[in-house]
Amino acid sequence: MEKRIDLHTHSIFSDGELLPSEIARRALVLDHEAVAITDHVDASNVDSVGKIINAVNDIRDNWDIDLIPGAEITHAPVEVIDKLAQQARDLGAEVIVVHGETLVESVIEGTNFTALNSPNVDILAHPGLITPEEVEIARENEIALEISSRRGHSLANGHVAKLALEIGADLVMDTDTHSPQDLISYQTACNILKGAGIPDKYINKILRTNPLKILDKR
């Protein structure tokens, strides 16, 4: 059985319900190889990235799962997105996600474009009605676009998938976990990708190859 990699989850250090260790344990039971804790940050709390490092080290040393410290830059002024990404990286974040222009929240216009031009960003989460021009930038800068299993954010999955496949941008599939029931199995992830119109031949690349490419940058 293939193992899951989920690079977008939230713990009690932002608006999630679980400790990092609880996320890791539940992910391990669901046969995950790796899971990133990417709590919401802006200038007020970017230092929270460092709070999970001890838990990360304990879990990496003792459990058969790679727990990854990360951050999701959320609703920040576009002018400071790259600065925040660099600060999070300096504090130990190994995966940098930016909260994209989802259909269900009033994200600042221009967030997608700015994130895709930042050398510190790995994933643009739930990018909503992203434009072909922005998808081309994602391809050129090797920033992955997210297919999301989270309610609301998933409304634009078909649009994101169609443009990314046409233009050749990388896709990843994440849960944006906040609650215990949000983590999903590999098979459920496959079904969500199929529901977004993604052909079978691309599924393993999205679920394994592309996330591993991000992790190899660490």
pLDDT in tens, the chain (218 residues): 689 999 999 999 999 999 999 999 999 999 999 999 999 999 999 999 998 888 899 999 999 999 999 999 999 999 999 999 999 999 999 999 999 999 999 999 999 999 999 999 999 999 999 999 999 999 999 999 999 999 999 999 999 999 999 999 999 999 999 999 999 999 999 999 999 999 999 999 999 999 999 999 98
Give the global pTM.
Answer: 0.98
Work out the number of other CB atoms within 10 angstroms of the CB of residue 141: 14
Q: Spell out where 57-121 has E strands.
A: 66-73, 95-99
Structural domain total, the chain: 1
- CA dist., res. 70 & res. 122, Å (int): 10
Query: Residue 160's domain spans which residues?
Result: 4-216
CATH number at residue 184: 3.20.20.140
Task: Kindly give, in sequence order, each residue whose CB lies less than 8 Å from that of residue 121, ignoring residues fewer than 6 positions away.
Answer: 81, 82, 85, 96, 97, 98, 115, 143
